[in-house]
Each structure stands twice: as C-alpha cells, then as structure tokens.
Amino acid sequence: MNVRHSFLLVIPAMAGCTLLQPAADDPVLVKLDELERRLANIERVVNNQSLVELAQQVSALERRADELQGRTETLEYDAENTGHRQRQLYADLDSRIQELEASVRSGGGVMDGGSLLPGELPLPEGSDRDNYQAAFELLKQQRYEPAGLAFQQFLKSFPDSELADNAQYWLAESYYVTKRFEDALVSFQVVVDDYPRSRKVADALLKIGYCDYELKRWDAARAALGRVQADFPETTAARLAGQRLQRMQEEGV
C-alpha cells in the first residue's frame, strides 16, 4: 500500500470519530431538549385547564364576595327598618290599649263582671283587633265567662279575621281553665281542624291531650301528646307533652 492510500484511509476514520461524539454533550441538543420539556409542561397545564379552572374559581369567589356584601347591606337595612316598624307597632299598640282602658273606666266599653251578654261585642263599634284585644284583656283579668262570650261573638262577627285562630284557641282556653273539659276539647279540636297552618296548632294538640287526661281517656291522651312530639319536635309544646307522658307512666295510667 502506498502513502496516498494510507492517507485516504485515515480521513474517514477521523471523520467517524467526529460524527460519533455523544449527543448528550452537544449544547445545542441539550438546550433543545430543555425547551421541549418546558413546552411539554406548558401544554400539559393548558390541556388540563388548571390555570383556566383556577381563574374561574377566583372569579366565582369574587362574585360570591360581592353577593355576600350585598346581602349584608340588605340585612342591615332591613334590620333598621324592622326596628323602626316595631317601635311604631309598639307605640300604636300602647295607644290602643290606653284607649281600651279609658273606655273600660268610662263604662263605655268592656262590661264589668259577667254582664257581657251573648251576641254582644265588647266594643260594638270597634275593629276586629280592638275587640280581640278587649276579649284578651278579660281573659288576662281571669274573667273567664265574659272572655269566652267575647271570643264567641268575635268569631261570629269577624270569621275571616287573621286573628280568628287565636280567638278560637283562647275561647277553648277559657273553657279549660274553668274545668269545662268537654267544651274545651271540642274547641281546641276546631283549632287543629279549621286552622291547620296556625301557630296555635301545637298548643291546641297539647291541650287536647291535657283534656283527655283530665277526662281519664288515657289512650286518647297518649295519642294526642305523642302527636305533639312527632309533629312539633324541639318546641315547648313537645317538651310539655313529654313531661305529661312521663307523669302518666309514673301514675301507671
């Protein structure tokens, strides 16, 4: 082999050494790999919509904060207005009571003792509220017979009054406190049957149980008291019903 041939063999060998340099040592390739990894991470974030979802959550929280702020302001405004309305109501009620008391003192309103006759209103020219308050005052004074007559006539004269359910309840109560348990039982039942949405239903059921207890109708009493507990839990009426049931158990009835 001559010198020329030897030289030609050396050149490809050197070129091969250059081409076989590891790719990991090439700074350009290293930089490209790094950029590719960063791009892949960004694409993964975008594809998962993590940033989008986070932005949406922040936006929703901001809207919620605005809503809460608005509600707070509304509640503050309503509270102020409610307090003002209550003060007006109390002033009006006090004025009405003073007028009724003056009427009683002058003899032109509620009659004394048991002189209120069937078919007569305590205040013949008064409104339903005036007459309801007059009848209730009689009840508070423990003048049960005229109070009962007043509530009876109230219900006849103002059957559509928003106070009719209360009047029916207190009529029944006037019977109960005078130990007219049969009459009281019937009247309390009217509250339950005719005014099912009244706030007095729980108390009426409780008193039905009490009436049945006084009449020694033990099963009926337990049924009424149990219904109070079932239908009106966490109320004073339910607590009192439980106490009466416990008493019945201790008495063995």
Position 181 in a domain: yes
Number of domains within the chain: 2
Contacts of 100 (CB under 8 A, 6+ apart): 109, 110, 123, 130, 133, 134, 137
Average pLDDT over residues 30-36: 78
Query: Token pair 């078919």 is at which residue?
Result: 119
Same domain, 105 and 184: no
Whether 153 shows a pLDDT value over 90: the answer reads: yes
Average pLDDT over residues 149-176: 96
By the 8 A CB rule, do 150 and 134 touch? Answer: yes
- Banded model confidence at residue 8, pLDDT cuts 50, 70, 90: very low
The domain boundary, picked from 109, 136, 160, lies at: 160
Position 6 in a domain: no
Position 41 in a domain: no
Whether 122 shows a pLDDT value over 80: the answer reads: yes
Same domain, 236 and 203: yes
**34-75: per-residue pLDDT in tens?**
878 887 777 776 666 666 677 777 777 877 776 676 666 567
Q: Residue 239: which CATH number?
A: 1.25.40.10
- Banded model confidence at residue 113, pLDDT cuts 50, 70, 90: very low
DSSP assignment of 74-102: HHHHHHHHHHHHHHHHHHHHHHHHHHHHH
Mean pLDDT of the chain: 79
Give me the percent of the chain exceeding a pLDDT of 90. 50
Same domain, 155 and 192: no
Position 109 in a domain: yes
Contacts of 185 (CB under 8 A, 6+ apart): 208, 211, 212, 215
Where is mean pLDDT largest: 35-44, 113-122, 208-217? 208-217
The domain boundary, picked from 160, 181, 202, lies at: 160
Whether 202 shows a pLDDT value over 70: the answer reads: yes
Task: Identify residue 29 by its one-letter amino acid code.
Answer: L
Position 9 in a domain: no
Position 237 in a domain: yes
Same domain, 88 and 116: yes
Same domain, 167 and 151: no
pLDDT of residue 228: 97
By the 8 A CB rule, do 169 and 203 touch? Answer: yes
Position 116 in a domain: yes
The pTM (predicted TM-score) of the whole model is 0.57
Task: Identify residue 109 by its one-letter amino acid code.
Answer: G
The domain boundary, picked from 112, 137, 160, lies at: 160
Position 194 in a domain: yes
DSSP state of 23: G
Give me the percent of the chain exceeding a pLDDT of 70. 66
- The neighbour count for residue 242, using CB atoms within 10 Å, is 14
What residue numbers bound the domain in which 98 lies? Answer: 72-160
pLDDT of residue 34: 80
Q: For residues 31 and 45, what is the distance between their CA atoms, to the nearest angstrom?
A: 21
Average pLDDT over residues 178-191: 98
pLDDT of residue 201: 97
SS3 label, residue 199? coil
Same domain, 139 and 187: no
Name which of 110, 145, 147 is nearest 126 in CA terms. Answer: 110
SS3 label, residue 211? helix
